[in-house]
Chains A and B, each alone.
Chain A
């Protein structure tokens, strides 16, 4: 069942993601500021040396980031199911169906693609 896309839904997912992403680290030289948007709610994740240094909902104007992954709350909810349905199980699957926008300077994204994909999936419910 789909959830109606509201900022309330986005804010709830954003809070869940912020909670999950704090402490995320991989042995990899990644330095990037990544914006994840849940409906109208942006979350900025600052990665330094492969480790999440800061993560939080963006409160003010003029947020700067390297690249962003943006989708509505219903798309994130379907993506985060323990076993997502076909076509809702990968960020590029979402992008192909027009449910996710991947924007910005894509070089740091593509150079660290699995790192970012795994980060984006952190909100996934346990199977």
Chain B
């Protein structure tokens, strides 16, 4: 063999979430502090492939990205054909916590983008003692809708194409064409109605305004990174959210949009690596201490 293999390894694990068995796919690379990665709505863990091939990350972190059930290579739970997919706040939290427990991760760090960023805020609120640090990318307690989600799943519009075309405007114009179109391809590959089902959490069930009191950033540092070209979760949305969380550390990233780790990994790492430096340098606390 002469081809250079990437360090990413993919595995399957079966989780019991909300009383249902879910066969979940995840990829990982690196060694050290566990760093669980949550993808955006309607996409999958491939968004983190660049971080998993970055030695500045993988030399210190065990980077793990799982596809939510219904996404990527994770199947929906049995019986899916008779229901409409809807992600709720409670289901999302349970899925994340179940994955971490199943893999035996001791106070992992966690990074999530978009809906993953929103759930980071909920995790900070509910479970800050269970994480070493939390990183919300394109995260806010709420953001104004900018299109009607009913267009995402209807018989006279191709779901994958319209999902990709809508979010294409959230990619910064400076992002390299290769990475822009890889990011959009993932949206084209999503299952029918899945993006819309994720947005149920984002738009209906997961409005966190006024619900984030008491977050202990002294126990679990909270970092919020938002791209200046994200008009869905805008810098103003993140700054407003951070204003209600004492100790939250915010960076507004130049020349990136809603998918920083996927659309422009070179630019994103300039903002991510200092955060990871802080996390890896922090003294280790045991769970619940």
* Chain A interface residues (CB < 8 Å from chain B): 83-84, 86-87, 89-93, 95-97, 106-107, 110-111, 113-114, 117
Contact = CB atoms under 8 A, between A and B. Distances in A.
Q: Interface majority SS on B: helix, strand, loop or mixed?
A: loop
Contacts of A110: 151, 157, 162
B229 interface: yes
Contacts, number: 52
Interface stretch (B128-136, B164-172, B194-202): B164-172
Contacts of A114: 161, 164-165, 168
Contacts of A90: 168-170, 231
A interface secondary structure, majority: helix
A92 B151 contact: no
B231 A86 contact: yes
A91 B169 CA distance: 8
Contacts of A87: 229, 231, 234
Given A87-B231, A92-B146, A113 B165 contact: yes
B286 interface: no
Contacts of A91: 169
Interface in B135-193: 144, 146-147, 151, 156-158, 161-162, 164-166, 168-170, 172-174
A93 B229 CA distance: 9
Contacts of A84: 173
Contact-size category for B? 20 to 34
A96 B237 CA distance: 14
B146 A95 contact: yes
A89 to B, nearest CB: 5
Contacts of B228: 86
Contact of A83 (B146, B151, B169, B174): B174
A121 B151 CA distance: 22
9 contacts: A84-B173, A87-B231, A89-B172, A89-B229, A92-B147, A95-B146, A111-B157, A114-B161, A114-B168
